[in-house]
Amino acid sequence: MAEFVYALCAITSLVCTVLLVNGYRRTRAGLLFWSGLCFAGLVVNNVLLFVDLVLVPGMNLGLLRSGAALAAMMVLLYGLVRESR
């Protein structure tokens, strides 16, 4: 059951990424672009979570997953600061 939830989280993040990028392409609103990039990083994080806990449970990818999540949040933070000007 946990495997299904991990996969569902990755798919949901991917759908959010696609919707945000499509919204950016239509409106050219910068915040949509930065949010889309953030969710792309969250897709990477969720895929790494699935790989770490389901495909290769003996391997610890925790540091790599945390790095991907941190990078995604930093992109969003940068976008928020940039668009506030």
CB atoms within 10 A of CB 18: 14
Per-residue pLDDT of the chain (85 residues; tens, 9 = 90+): 999 999 999 999 999 999 999 999 999 999 999 999 999 999 999 999 999 999 998 899 999 999 999 999 999 999 999 999 7
Angle between the N-to-C axes of helices 30-50 and 2-27, in degrees from 0 to 180, rounded to the nearest 10: 160
CA 5 to chain centre: 16
